[in-house]
Amino acid sequence: MSETINCPSCAAELDKKINSTKHLICEYCFSSIFLEDGGVTNLGKMAELIDEPSILKLGLDFEYRDWNFVPIGRVRYDYGRGWWDEWFVMDTTGETKWVSVDEGHIAIEEKDTNPENASLYFDSISVGESTNLIIDDESLSFTVTEKKHCKCIAAEGELPFQIIPDEEFDYVDLLSKNGKSATVEMFNDGTKDIFLGTWVDPFDIKACY
């Protein structure tokens, strides 16, 4: 059920679609609003996302095979020679996932909570090396396709965690032989988040608007 929040900067009415939302970016004044314990904190201005052509658009309906979803938020990360978008999407049942989009390289992933995967060490793994991850109760071999450093440069919409502009971290992209994908985000405090999912053919994503 959606909830309306007033922007602390411009007072615009902002639609909050999911309860777990921690961060909202005002679509009018680009204020970065942190939501916690029923309170609203204005964190300042968020960089406006440059209007580049994208396969997904905020707030519109899309379909991947028989899965319908709506992008409700987006974070953009710069990795030096370019950037990619992480779209926070919600399906018709209210479940959320992440759709990673980098010039036609698309993966639909969700945060992994498997402790076996969490116990793995990714700091010293290199591009081309392989490691096993548990996905859908199956141990699959993944190969590191990319290992880089990135910086959060912009965001929009509704997001499940606090966005810190210019936050930097290392990440590892992995791919299995059958098209399963994994992303490991490694933060400066030693913690990491693992996201597991699948590679997606951009031609399988259809706009439904």
* Residues of the shown chain interacting with another protein in the complex, contacts defined by CB under 8 A: 45, 47-50, 52-55, 81-83, 102-105, 153-154, 175, 177-179, 199, 201-203
Distance, in Å, from the CA atom of 112 to the CA atom of 38, rounded to the nearest integer, reads: 27
Smallest gap from Cβ 68 to another protein, in A, equals 19
| Identity at 139, one-letter amino acid code | S
CB of 37 to another protein, least distance (A): 29
Token couple for 157: 């919409």
Residue closer to another protein, measured from CB, 39 or 82: 82
- What is the per-residue burial (b if ≥16 Cβ within 10 Å, else e) of 21-55? bebbbbeeebbbbbbeeeeeeebeebbebeeeeeb
Of 1 and 50, CB closest to another protein: 50
Residue 95 or 103 having the CB closest to another protein: 103
Residue (93 or 178) nearer to another protein, CB: 178
Q: How far is the CB of 168 from another protein (least distance, A)?
A: 17
Nearer Cβ to another protein, position 150 or 192?
150
Encoded tokens for 185: 């985000």
Distance of CA 46 to the CA centre of its chain: 17
Beta strands 180-186 and 192-200: pairing type? Answer: antiparallel
Task: State the minimum distance, in angstroms, from the CB of residue 96 to another protein.
Answer: 23
Helix (H) or strand (E) holding 115: helix 115-118
Please return the burial class of 166, using the count of CB atoms within 10 Å of its CB with bins 0-12, 13-18 and 19+.
exposed
Q: Select from 64, 109, 116 the least CA-distant residue to 88.
A: 109
Least CB distance to another protein at residue 206 (A): 10
Q: Taking the complex as a whole, how short is the minimal distance between the CB of residue 176 and another protein, in angstroms?
A: 9
Please say which residue, 105 or 111, places its beta carbon nearer to another protein. Answer: 105
